[in-house]
């Protein structure tokens, strides 16, 4: 239902943010 799709979207956003953070760290070193 609503909660499942909401959690899925939050998970996607968190995954993207984590990926971006890792990429930034790699680029900085």
**DSSP labels for 1-29?**
-HHHHHHHHHHHHHHHHHHHHHHHHHHH-
Residues 25 and 10: their CA atoms lie apart, in Å, by: 22
Tell me: the pLDDT tens digits for 1-29? 999 999 999 999 999 999 999 999 999 98
Q: What is the pLDDT of residue 29?
A: 84
The model scores a pTM over 0.85: no
pLDDT given at position 11:
98
pLDDT on residue 20: 98
């Amino acid at each position: 239902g609503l909660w499942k799709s909401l959690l899925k979207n939050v998970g996607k956003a968190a995954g993207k943010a984590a990926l971006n953070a890792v990429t930034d760290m790699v680029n900085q070193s």
